[in-house]
Each structure stands twice: as structure tokens, then as C-alpha cells.
Homo-oligomer: A and B are copies of this chain.
Amino acid sequence: MSTDQASSADQLLASVDAEPGDRVRVHRDEDTLEGRVMPRHGFSDPDVVVLKLDSGYNIGLRVDEGDEVERLETGGEAPEQPPAMPDDVDELPTVALLGTGGTIASFVEYRTGAVHPATSPEELAAAVPEAFEHARLDPEVVFEAFSEDLTPDHWSQLADAVEAAFERGVEGVVVTHGTDTMHYTAMALELAFDELPGPVVLVGAQRSSDRPSSDAATNLTSAVRVAAETDAGEAMVVMHEGMSDETWAIHAAGRARKMHTSRRDAFQSLDHRPLGVVTDDAIEWNVEPREPADRVQRSGSFDADVGLVHSYPGIDADEIRAAARDGLVVAGTGLGHLPSHLAEDVDELTDEGTLVAMASQCLNGRTNMHVYETGRQLVEAGAIEAGDMLPETAYVKLVWALATADDPDEARELFRQPQGREQSPRTGFYYPREEAR
């Protein structure tokens, strides 16, 4: 029974004399949840009760006024809980764990069946103690948001937090992130640094930690391993590689895209193999990761206003104009096309100073705006080609290029130059990628 003052986990459990190992049933409104009480550890949030469900997964419940608890069984064997810090903690690498919200840090609001972000990385640590076996984790909440609510401002905040973490001496950084826009943030963190002394690993979960098929714990553990055990000096995304629990893909920033609404292997490297793969035994690279630098060095900012618009049959000039600000990325059809009648509007926009870049909504392959008249008209109107950059990647890069350059010509040049792995140089005229296969 909760008291009439602010609830705490201890108070709730004490109200029925429940100890770790006891089986309890928590009532909230019409709903109930049953499990064994987990022991508390150093990171435990005083207001969170952690239960081990029959599925074997842990769930953290933030105690709420009105919660009621029943003790169903006593004296059960206390569920195994790894120590908050392993004995050899001083020998483990230090990894910053930067929380931004999202499913990996979620707890079920079981009143509605919906999922809310955790309010502290401690809650996350309580749910995924395995991650603490590979590193001395240095947790910090940078912000709390669903990833669909993030903006370029959040990328800057996160870059600040990554910079601060490396400056205080961590060996790697893990960013827990909602999956909806994780690929945008990965590209932003790649662009935000000229030099990185260690890995910056973004990780999310497709299913929240209350679900038997949750990928939260295994993804986070794999991400911590990449951050702690490798010295790659670049930004990456680590997520399940396939449907099994055996391998996790390491995707290059700018190449990954969320390609499924719900599958655990939602993230795919498009047009490229993943950078590498994590197994239980090893971390193997398909491509040699970038050497780490001696220090962390920022590069530019994200303080520019850019739009991203996708072409389709029936798109009109108003839609293009509503998205065009300092810059505009158009995810055109095919090789990089818009309806012909819009070339005039693109011309006006570039005359007004908007930097317009054409990408392709095909997602694979590269733009080539010299094959058809429609493409050539857009080039004549001043549009630049995004090459083989994904539209999402081109968007992040154009925000960065405009915010970082001193003038439009420099912005155009920054956008065109490969900055990381987001763009391959054109190796020939017309369809070079296939001919190289």
C-alpha cells in the first residue's frame, strides 16, 4: 500500500514486508504485474521497484501514488543480480553512458500499455546489469526525449556531452537513443568532430525491456563492448544484425537507416556492408575502423535551418517552398529528379540564396543528374548532387555545412567533400557502382 506522502520503492515493499526474492503482485488501477523482487544496488533509483518477470526479464516500475502491492510468496531464492560493479572494476575501461531517451531506456506505463522513456540512466543500469561487466560505466542524462522529437539543437547538446566525456578521460562513449531518428544523430556526431580519441556508439532497442523479446539488454551490452574494447575513432550504430541473438552489426554513421518498423534487425547499412560485427566471442571488422586521435576536437555546429522534402506525383511548388530555408535537401525520384515544372522554383530558390541538394528516394545507388533533361535542368538551376548519400544523411550534412561554413561557396564545398564514410567519391561516369561489382 502506498503511503500518502511521496512513495518510494522501500516504502512500497515495506508495506507488505516484501524482501528480495519474494514474489509480489503490484496493482495499479485495473492492471496488475507479478514478479520476484530484485535486490537493490548502488545505481538503484529510490523510487523504482525492479521485478524479475516470469519471462526472465527485469522491469523497473516507478512507484506511483495509488499503487498497491500484495506479497504472494516469501523466501523464494533471491534472483541472481550481478553486483553493480564487478570486482575488477578498476581495471575496466571507462565508458560514458549518455542517455537521451528512447526504447532502450524505457519502462512500461502499464496503465495504458504504452512505453515511456526512463528518467535516469540508473533505471537503465538496474534493468541491464550485464552491461556493467564490460566497462566502468559513467552515466549521464543529456536529455530525455523520444527520438522523433529531436532537432539539430539536440545534436549540438549531445556533441557537447560527448566532447565533455572524452575531456574527462573516458575511453569510449555509448549513446542510448530512440531508434526513429538514430541514423540522423549518428551522422551528426560523426560530423561534429574533426578528431575522436575513441568510439562513439549509438544504440537503441526495438522492443522495450518489459517484453520477452526485448533487444535492449543485448544491444546495450554489445554497444558497451564496442566502446570499451575497440579504439575506433568514429561514430557508429550498433544493433542486432539478424533475427537471432548471436550477432550485432556495427554500422557506419551516414550509411545506416531504420528499414523496419519493429524487427530487431531494423537498422541496415544501405549499399554497403556493415563496418563490422559483434559476436559473443569477438568484434570483427569488415572495414578497418578509423584510427583514434590523441584528443577530441570539435568541428562546426548545427545552427542552420534546412528542410528535407520528398518528391512524388502531384507535389507542388508550395511544398518545396515550405521546406526551403537556408538549405533544402530534395529526396528526388530515380537518379535525382523533381517534376520538370519545379526546376523554375529551384532556380528561384538558389537565386534567393538557398542551397539546394538533390538526393534519391531510391536509397540505394547514387544520383546522376546528367542522364535526363529533368536532371540537367535542376543542375542548371543550381542544385547540387548528393551522390550516394542517403537523403537523411544529406540533410544532416547540409545543416552542418551551412552552420559551419563562412559563406555559401564554402558550404557547398563542405557538403560535396566526403567527411567520413557518408559519401563515396564518384569513380566514373554513369552507374559506376554496378560496373565495379
What is the interface of chain A, defined by CB distance below 8 A to chain B? 112-116, 146-152, 154, 178-181, 184, 207, 243, 258-263, 266, 305-315, 318-319, 321-323, 331-341, 360, 362-368, 370-374, 376, 392, 395, 399, 430-431, 433-434, 437
Contact = CB atoms under 8 A, between A and B. Distances in A.
From A309, A312, A337, A366, name the one whose CB has the most chain B CB atoms within 10 angstroms.
Answer: A312
B334 A180 contact: yes
Contacts of A395: 312
A308 to B, nearest CB: 5
Contact of A114 (B308, B334, B370): B370
12 contacts: A114-B376, A146-B373, A147-B334, A148-B338, A151-B313, A151-B339, A207-B431, A258-B362, A262-B366, A262-B433, A307-B315, A308-B310
Contact of A376 (B112, B266, B318, B339): B112
B363 A259 contact: yes
Nearest to A266: B362
A210 to B, nearest CB: 12
Given A312-B392, A339-B148, A360-B261, A114 B266 contact: no
B319 A261 contact: no
A364 B261 contact: yes
A150 B311 CA distance: 11
A313 B362 contact: no
A152 B114 contact: no
Contacts of A149: 339-341, 374
Contact of A309 (B319, B340, B360): B319
Contacts of A318: 322
A137 B334 CA distance: 29
A146 B311 CA distance: 14
A31 to B, nearest CB: 15
B335 A366 contact: no
Given A266-B362, A371-B115, A337 B180 contact: yes
